[in-house]
C-alpha cells in the first residue's frame, strides 16, 4: 500500500508538472498567436491602407480629369457664344446698313409684322384688328402698347434684360382695370383689380 501511495504521489507530481508544462506551453502558444495576430492585423491594416491610398489617387485623378473636361467645355461654350455674338452683331450691323431708312414687312395668314433696325416694331393681328407697338432701348424691349380701334387695351413693361415685369389692361375709355406683376420666369405673381 505504501508503494501504491508513493506511486500515486509520483503520478500526482507528474500530473501537476505535466499540467504546469502544458499550461506554460499553452500560454506561450497564446502569446505567440497574439503576436502573430497583431502582426497579421498590422500587415492587413498596411494592405488596406495601401489599397485605400490607391483608390484615393484614382478618385483624385478622375475628379481632376472631369473638372478639366468641364472647364474645357465651359471655355469652349464661352468662346462659342462670343463667336456667335460677333457673328450676330456683324449680321445685325450689315442688315441695319442695308435697310437703313427702310421699313420691312413680313406677312402671314395671322399677322403683319413691321421691322426696322432688325427688330419687330409693330405687329398687326388680322383676326382681332389689334395693333401692338414695341419700343426698344439698347436693342432690348422696354415696353409694348396694344391698341384696338386706336384705344390702348394693354401695356407691358420690361426690365433691363428684356423680361416682362408688369402688364396693364385698360377698358374702352383707357381707364386702368387690371395690373399684373411677373417674376423672372414670366409668371404672374400679383394681380391688382382697379
Instruction: Quote the pLDDT of residue 87.
Output: 58
Q: Give yes or no: residues 74 and 168 share one domain.
A: no
Instruction: Quote the pLDDT of residue 120.
Output: 86
Q: Give yes or no: residues 160 and 90 share one domain.
A: no
Distance from C-alpha of 20 to C-alpha of 12, rounded to nearest angstrom: 12
Pair 113, 106: CB distance under 8 Å:
yes
Distance from C-alpha of 173 to C-alpha of 116, rounded to nearest angstrom: 31
Distance from C-alpha of 180 to C-alpha of 192, rounded to nearest angstrom: 6
Q: Give yes or no: residues 115 and 65 share one domain.
A: no
Q: Give yes or no: residues 31 and 87 share one domain.
A: yes
Instruction: Quote the pLDDT of residue 162.
Output: 86
Distance from C-alpha of 115 to C-alpha of 103, rounded to nearest angstrom: 6
For residues 112-139, one letter each, b for 16 or more C-beta atoms within 10 angstroms of the residue's C-beta and e for the rest, the string is eebbbeeebbbbbeeeeeebbebebeee
Point out the domain boundary residue: 100, 117, 135. Answer: 100
Indicate the number of domains in the chain: 2
Instruction: Quote the pLDDT of residue 169.
Output: 95
Instruction: Please give the model's pTM, rounded to 2 decimal places.
Output: 0.49
Q: Give yes or no: residues 94 and 110 share one domain.
A: no
> For 5-17, how does the pLDDT look when each residue is reduced to its tens digit (9 = 90+)?
655 566 566 666 6
Give the Cα-Cα-Cα angle 115, 119, 120 (nearest 5 degrees): 55
More confident of the two residues 63 and 178:
178
Instruction: Quote the pLDDT of residue 138.
Output: 84
For residues 41-57, one letter each, b for 16 or more C-beta atoms within 10 angstroms of the residue's C-beta and e for the rest, the string is eeeeeeeeeeeeeeeee
Beta bridge partners of 143: 135, 157
Q: 54 pLDDT band (50/70/90 cuts)?
A: confident
Exposed / middle / buried, residue 169 (Cβ in 10 Å: 0-12, 13-18, 19+): middle
Place of cell 500515486: 8
Mean pLDDT of all residues belonging to the chain: 76
Region 173-192 average pLDDT: 94
Q: 106 pLDDT band (50/70/90 cuts)?
A: confident
- The enclosing H or E element of 174 equals none
Q: Give yes or no: residues 60 and 113 share one domain.
A: no
Instruction: Quote the pLDDT of residue 142.
Output: 93
Region 19-47 average pLDDT: 62
The boundaries of the domain holding residue 68 are 1-100
Beta bridge partners of 111: 125
Instruction: Quote the pLDDT of residue 152.
Output: 96
Nearest residue to 103 (alpha-carbon basis) of 94, 89, 122, 116: 116
> For 127-170, how does the pLDDT look when each residue is reduced to its tens digit (9 = 90+)?
999 999 999 988 889 999 999 999 999 999 999 888 999 999 99
Cβ-proximal residues to 113 (8 Å cutoff; 6+ apart), any chain: 105, 106, 107, 120, 122, 123, 124
Q: Give yes or no: residues 82 and 13 share one domain.
A: yes
More confident of the two residues 21 and 109:
109
Amino acid at each position: 500500500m505504501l508503494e501504491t501511495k508513493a506511486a500515486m504521489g509520483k503520478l500526482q507530481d507528474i500530473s501537476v508538472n505535466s499540467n504546469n508544462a502544458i499550461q506554460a506551453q499553452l500560454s506561450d502558444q497564446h502569446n505567440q498567436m497574439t503576436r502573430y495576430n497583431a502582426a497579421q492585423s498590422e500587415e492587413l491594416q498596411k494592405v488596406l491602407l495601401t489599397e485605400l491610398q490607391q483608390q484615393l489617387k484614382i478618385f483624385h485623378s478622375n475628379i481632376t480629369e472631369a473638372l478639366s473636361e468641364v472647364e474645357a467645355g465651359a471655355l469652349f461654350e464661352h468662346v462659342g457664344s462670343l463667336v456667335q455674338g460677333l457673328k450676330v452683331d456683324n449680321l445685325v450691323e450689315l442688315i441695319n446698313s442695308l435697310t437703313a431708312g427702310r421699313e420691312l414687312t413680313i406677312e402671314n395668314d395671322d399677322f403683319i409684322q413691321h421691322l426696322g433696325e432688325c427688330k419687330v416694331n409693330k405687329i398687326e393681328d388680322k383676326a382681332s384688328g389689334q395693333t401692338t407697338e414695341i419700343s426698344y432701348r439698347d436693342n432690348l424691349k422696354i415696353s409694348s402698347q396694344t391698341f384696338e380701334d386706336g384705344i390702348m387695351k394693354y401695356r407691358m413693361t420690361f426690365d433691363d434684360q428684356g423680361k416682362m415685369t408688369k402688364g396693364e389692361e385698360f377698358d374702352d375709355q383707357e381707364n386702368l382695370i387690371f395690373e399684373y406683376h411677373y417674376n423672372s420666369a414670366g409668371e404672374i405673381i400679383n394681380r391688382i383689380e382697379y
